[in-house]
Structure 1
């Protein structure tokens, strides 16, 4: 609420309208948010001149009116702030102390780190004086529904983040103010432009990250991953899962190559076509497993605190407002990550397991113990493709072995029942056969699924959460170009043309909530 005019000594408010406003804010933000009415946020008690007009107050209580008039001036002497109004009125210092104490107590009690206080402009002015007691710079007069933001540190240190802003009032801001805001944003609205594809095929684990990023990962990184080799590799918090997966897959595979495969071929396995194919597949699976589970998937550097230029664009929760990205003439919403203090790049997501924002996040793989994202997605896909073929051949070889055993026991005229009888004779071989069958079905379904989403240039995260509900995927340029980007040039944002992204706090034309990076 605006401050009272010095021409009229209005009646002190009882926070009735403020309570209604606070309830509406709580309903909009979180229905379980607690709304408290604290009389320490009431407007001034003006004692003897309460409710009187200027002329009457000046005539009947000249001294009190003189003090009140000085309070309404820009610069108030310190001794004047301690003068009280007769008739039980308050001094400026008393108003300042009670309002500041109210806010500080609320900050100590909350666990959310955010307190929203709805009060009168006069009280708001005293909070400003409390935060900047020595400031002589004039501040704009607060208007109705304006927002001021303060940071209250432990120990009672106050900092003014923004004062009397009204950017949140759509349609109420003046054209001049809107133009000035757009000019302020111009310095960081164009996020990235890459005119030529990177010459390297994204083999960052060989070349390593850029020097500045490598220095960040090795000295200032705060996530849960373990960084190795200057940022080339990153082990997820669940890295023991990858060790378990390795044991559960490669030990049976080694037993198969050593004991089962030689039963159906003559000589060394690398001299037989079937043996050579499975040996190559086994090596491919091993290499891709290690790369997919250990390569830095695309960790994004975080900021220690919120960038200063964003403090003018906070919502009621104290979080930077959503930005809107224009990609391929399609508008998408971009969210600010409060953990990493960054606007998440397109298609990225904050992984709760690894505590990182990750580029082109696909999913967090429990079996690998790492995120599958920008830099290791291709190895993950090759892993499941190779595993599918390898397991199919294992099932084929097992079937041949069962046939050979049935032939030895029952002769050339053995039947299905004879094969089933042979199955029951060797428990380990039966267990391995069932193991291969179920595992093959699982990776086969994964292979088909990732083939489909790769053709559409979707991530698992985008597909599962159905981001592009109207079918307008700005990253879809056709099967060939999509796959070329994903598997050869993953650093590119778009499969074709210039990587150009525009950003603003106002949507570019029409906008659909379905097209959002809100949870990315």
Structure 2
């Protein structure tokens, strides 16, 4: 490298989101990664204490000449559940949840649309001459869905995506930001998140049950045994309280999986009065979450980037829209159609990549399957919207 020449930077070093990277960009966490340590302590502390208690029981049985094979199995299962629980937690917290790459610049001014209607708004102060529709309607499995323009990432979000204010990223199939995991839960880590909370539930029930077994084995009576066995008492109370939280969460997310909803959609009553376009039946919904191939990350955080390619800064707080404008509407708004407003050419000429199954038919509408690709502005190519995901299925109605 020539003297005075700066060492090229990698994408994770210039990333504008709030994520924290480790192992030179191989691991990506949320900004509140420190909460992960607290969660590990809350899981590991009681589990290790229980294993110590079981080991003590084995030693006592050996001295009394009793068979300890039963407690060896109990100890092994407890250790296995603990390791799996922490493993699923780390797999959830340390991977890209489905972050959609930002555009480096807003759309070019020639691609703008400058009709003054409620469905249009200024994008930001850097392009005061450019206006774009706030929402764009697409068809998902035969149902109209509105995709929203993200001022921060400067792209049209794909259906089911949302911008996380904590991580400052648009995430595919955004479910929620979990403070216990310290990471967004989305398309690429939801499976591991559910396995984490379900394993936590099983571990709580397991420790709770065998803690009672420890007490019941005392021949002096339950009350006297509880006064002597303080550790088992603490574990029983702790697991009883915890299982209501993680158990309820497990049941709730199992319901979401069976109905093919996200937490974000459920909390906004998205499908209470409208048919869910993503629901395929319980069996296929379960297969989609647990048995389908996880799409590869859309970001190569270790890729070398040039200064000119760095992602633009987010708009300042002085230009934040009103609360009504900031509501994340993805279904329903048809203002532009009802008023006969034609969309600009950049929004009409959509090009779709990686079509699977049938060939293109221009006279038929495009129908997105489970995870539609994001509409991303490629600034070097005018009048073009890139569908940026290799594994997303697009078929014709």
TM range, smaller chain = 0.5 to 0.7
1:50-99 Cα shifts (integer Å, max 9, x gaps): xxxxxxxxxxxxxxxxxxxxxxxxxxxxxxxxxxxxxxxxxxxxxxxxxx
Where does residue 183 of structure 2 map in the other structure? 370
Distance, in Å, in 1 between the alignment partners of 2:31 and 2:158 is 23
Kindly indicate whether residue 258 of structure 2 is the aligned counterpart of residue 455 of structure 1: yes
Kindly indicate whether residue 281 of structure 2 is the aligned counterpart of residue 478 of structure 1: yes
Higher helix share: 1
Q: Is the 8 A contact 2:142 2:367 kept in 1?
A: no
1:147-195 Cα shifts (integer Å, max 9, x gaps): xxxxxxxxxxxxxxxxxxxxxxxxxxxxxxxxxxxxxxxxxxxxxxxxx
**1:153-302 equivalent positions in 2, closer than 5 A:** 217-228=11-22, 232-260=26-54, 263=57, 267=68, 272-302=72-102
**1:338-349 equivalent positions in 2, closer than 5 A:** 338-349=151-162
Superposition deviation, residue 220 in structure 1: 4.0
Q: Is the 8 A contact 1:365 1:371 kept in 2?
A: yes
Superposition deviation, residue 251 in structure 1: 2.0
Kindly indicate whether residue 122 of structure 2 is the aligned counterpart of residue 318 of structure 1: yes
Q: Is the 8 A contact 1:241 1:368 kept in 2?
A: yes
Kindly indicate whether residue 302 of structure 2 is the aligned counterpart of residue 489 of structure 1: no
* Structure 2 residue corresponding to 1:388, chosen from 201, 216, 219: 201
Q: Structure 1 residues 331-340 or 312-321, which shifts more? A: 312-321
Q: Is the 8 A contact 2:54 2:75 kept in 1?
A: no
Superposition deviation, residue 277 in structure 1: 2.8
Superposition deviation, residue 462 in structure 1: 0.8
Distance, in Å, in 2 between the alignment partners of 1:262 and 1:463 is 47
Kindly indicate whether residue 140 of structure 2 is the aligned counterpart of residue 327 of structure 1: yes
Superposition deviation, residue 427 in structure 1: 3.7
Any idea what SS the aligned residue of 1:334 has? strand
Q: Structure 1 residues 317-326 or 395-404, which shifts more? A: 317-326
* Structure 2 residue corresponding to 1:305, chosen from 74, 83, 105: 105
- What 5-or-longer segments of structure 2 have no aligned partner? 1-8, 62-66, 124-131, 297-355, 359-365, 376-397
* Structure 1 residue corresponding to 2:234, chosen from 426, 431, 444: 431
What is the TM-score with the length of structure 2 in the denominator?
0.63
* Structure 2 residue corresponding to 1:357, chosen from 167, 170, 174: 170
Any idea what SS the aligned residue of 2:261 has? coil
Superposition deviation, residue 312 in structure 1: 2.0
Q: Is the 8 A contact 2:157 2:170 kept in 1?
A: yes
Any idea what SS the aligned residue of 1:281 has? helix
Where does residue 271 of structure 2 map in the other structure? 468
Superposition deviation, residue 346 in structure 1: 1.5
Distance, in Å, in 1 between the alignment partners of 2:238 and 2:139 is 48
What is the TM-score with the length of structure 1 in the denominator?
0.49
Distance, in Å, in 2 between the alignment partners of 1:233 and 1:327 is 33
Quick one: structure 1 residues 235 and 313, their matched pair in 2 at CA, closer, same or farther if it must change by over 3 Å?
farther
Q: Which has the higher contact order (CA 8 A, sep 6+)?
A: 2
Superposition deviation, residue 337 in structure 1: 0.8
Superposition deviation, residue 232 in structure 1: 4.5
- Please provide the CA RMSD for this pair: 2.9
